[in-house]
Amino acid sequence: MKFSSIGNIKLHALIVAKRLKASFDNKIGSKISLPNRLKLSLKAKSVLSVAIVVVLLVSVFAFIPKQDSKPVEPISTDSPTPSPTAVPQNNSKPTSKPTPIPNVLTGIGNAIIQVFTPPKEPGFIETSKGMNSTIWRQVAETAWQYFQPGIGVDENTGLPNSGSGSPYFTDWDLGVYIQAVMDANATGLIGYNGTWGSSARLEKIVNWLETRELNATTHYPYWFYQSSNGSDYHEMSDLSTAIVDGADIGRLLVALNNLRIFNASLAPRINNIVLYGQLYNRSDYQALVPSVLADSKISTSIYSYYVYSGFASFWPAQLSTAPNMILNNILTAGNVTTNNVTLPISSILGDPLLCSVFDLSNNSSKLMYLMHQVYLAHEAYYNATGVYRAFSEGASLDYHWTYEWVVLGNRTWVVLDENYQPFGISPIIYTKVAIGFLAIYNTSYAYNMNVHLEKALPTPLNGFSEGVNEENLQLASTGSNTNGLILSAAKYALQNNP
């Protein structure tokens, strides 16, 4: 089956989304999509967002859907190399000076556009010659630009866009936005008052949660909403075969718990939204608790740790030990080594790991140990190969969503697409991970990698771009996941290294 006209681009996105949801739900085999396998379902909306942008950029493309097949052995980009420096040097001066490229390929979904990039002035990170509170505030300000009305937030409804020009969102995106508003307030970018102050922004979100459309059959939220009017986008949501998306809900619960602490006056309303049987009688999320607890006993996924922490914050009596069980599972599952750095046999990539450090309170020594080993693996890879690396998930220069697993089972540096198939691309150096490393460790490797990205990407005007691949090709689009995580990183750096 091929599609070769603009009119079929939307249909292409729907087919991809349907295949994605069906394949994921079949793997789960239960009523709740839980993230210990792979948190895939929310990415269907990204495929649609990409397709909508592509309408403005290309007139013809071909797509041939894959047939059902047996799982394929994942591709690993691990390279056995000489031993790297075991511990990064925090105080050494940056030495890497990547050469700016005159021509780059800017990718949006499956549209790859060759553009001319004229020489530009050094960015503010490079000019700083080292990070301090002034530079971190500039990082925060730059990321917050994405969340301005008319860019990453609908100016009428106050609801978030998953990407610039992509007026759709999931519960995951909503959680990112709630956290971004709190982080912007904490770093002094906005106050409580005013039309677009934190109180007004958050009131719009809470009010929408109290009144949003629920699935008439399941009484759970739909998984895909329109930011322009807050309505469910049935054309996509109705394709889902799962009763509820546990990963998206868990991420939203993390943010809502933080919001209860940030503004105690909202706590009763948040509780009424989440805890079934009270004032609003919304969704019965408590019915998911037994599945969360059962999976926590066996999961070795960092996604599970982060998402289930959200559930545990609302049902502590049943789930207070669940996150720690997952960390214990990860750290006792055996080890795999890459470039002389030891990693646990588990499922780890950048976004949920960094979100765990930035969004969850009272980070345990176990979590920070895991974070440090993942960072060391990245630096060791660079020391061995001379190639920067910042693995996570996100858009790619193809129409597929990318999952870059630092470790997946007993393999390292595994790159998959949204169908859990090997994805033979040049890995993306994701800006959000590079800045996250810099916020936590402030090492030469992290600093130099960010200078490398700054040189290779356009000057950020409406938020930071996604990143570049390891061949220095741009992924210049902007989105909520990238800028929300960067804003959290900046807040962390300002609070922990003032």
- What CATH number does residue 398 fall under? 1.50.10
Classify 480 as helix, strand or coil: helix
Confidence of residue 29 (pLDDT cuts 50, 70, 90): very low
Distance in angstroms (rounded) separating the CA atoms of residues 301 and 360:
16
What CA dihedral angle connects 102, 475, 89 and 405, to 10 degrees? -140
Q: How many domains does the chain divide into?
A: 1
pLDDT at 46 over 60: no
Confidence of residue 498 (pLDDT cuts 50, 70, 90): low
In a domain, 43, yes or no: no
pLDDT at 25 over 60: no
pLDDT tens for each residue of 370-409: 999 999 999 999 999 999 999 999 999 988 999 999 999 9
In a domain, 19, yes or no: no
Q: Which helix (H) or strand (E) holds 403?
A: strand 402-409
pLDDT tens for each residue of 410-444: 999 999 999 999 999 999 999 999 999 999 999 99
In a domain, 376, yes or no: yes
Q: Which helix (H) or strand (E) holds 12?
A: helix 9-28
Distance in angstroms (rounded) separating the CA atoms of residues 358 and 341:
24
In a domain, 46, yes or no: no
Instruction: Give the pLDDT score at 480.
Output: 97
In a domain, 48, yes or no: no
Measure the CA angle with vertex 130, ends 125 and 131; round to 5°: 75
Compute CA 222 distance to the chain's CA centroid, rounded to the nearest angstrom: 20
Mean pLDDT, range 97-116, rounded to an integer: 34
DSSP structural state of residue 484: H
Question: Distance of CA 104 to CAs 100, 214, 432, 466, 472, Å?
Answer: 10, 44, 21, 15, 8
pLDDT tens for each residue of 134-175: 999 999 999 999 999 999 999 999 999 999 888 999 999 999
- Residue 102 has which token pair? 């005159």
Show the DSSP H helices in 277-315 as ranges. 289-296, 302-314
Domain that holds residue 138: 70-496
State the DSSP string of 332-385.
TS-EEEETTEEEESEEE-HHHHHHHHHHSSS--HHHHHHHHHHHHHHHHHHHHH
pLDDT tens for each residue of 232-275: 998 888 888 888 889 999 999 999 999 999 999 999 999 999 99
Q: Is 160 in contact with 169 (CB distance < 8 Å)?
A: yes
Residue 125 CB: number of other CB atoms within 10 A?
23
In a domain, 10, yes or no: no
- Residue 356 has which token pair? 């765990």
Total number of residues shown for the chain: 498
The phi and psi torsions of 478 (rounded to 5 degrees) equal -120, 155
Q: Is 212 in contact with 225 (CB distance < 8 Å)?
A: yes
DSSP structural state of residue 163: B
pLDDT at 337 over 70: yes
pLDDT at 93 over 60: no
pLDDT at 36 over 60: no
Which of the pair, 76 or 360, is modelled with greater confidence?
360
In a domain, 37, yes or no: no
DSSP structural state of residue 447: H
- For residue 242, give the amino acid letter: A
Mean pLDDT, range 300-320, rounded to an integer: 98
- For residue 65, give the amino acid letter: P
CA 203, 205, 206, 211 torsion: positive or negative? Answer: positive
Question: Distance of CA 410 to CAs 10, 78, 83, 295, Å?
Answer: 38, 12, 20, 20
Confidence of residue 296 (pLDDT cuts 50, 70, 90): very high
In a domain, 39, yes or no: no
% residues pLDDT > 70 (the chain): 76
Instruction: Give the pLDDT score at 281.
Output: 77
Distance in angstroms (rounded) separating the CA atoms of residues 266 and 250:
19
Q: Is 395 in contact with 479 (CB distance < 8 Å)?
A: yes
To the nearest whole number, what is the mean pLDDT of the chain?
A: 81
Residue 195 CB: number of other CB atoms within 10 A?
8
pLDDT tens for each residue of 205-241: 999 999 999 998 888 999 899 999 999 998 888 888 8
Instruction: Give the pLDDT score at 119.
Output: 55
Distance in angstroms (rounded) separating the CA atoms of residues 388 and 380:
10
Distance in angstroms (rounded) separating the CA atoms of residues 251 and 34:
12
Q: Is 300 in contact with 326 (CB distance < 8 Å)?
A: yes
Q: What is the pTM of this model?
A: 0.81
Terminal CA-to-CA distance of the chain, rounded, Å? 57
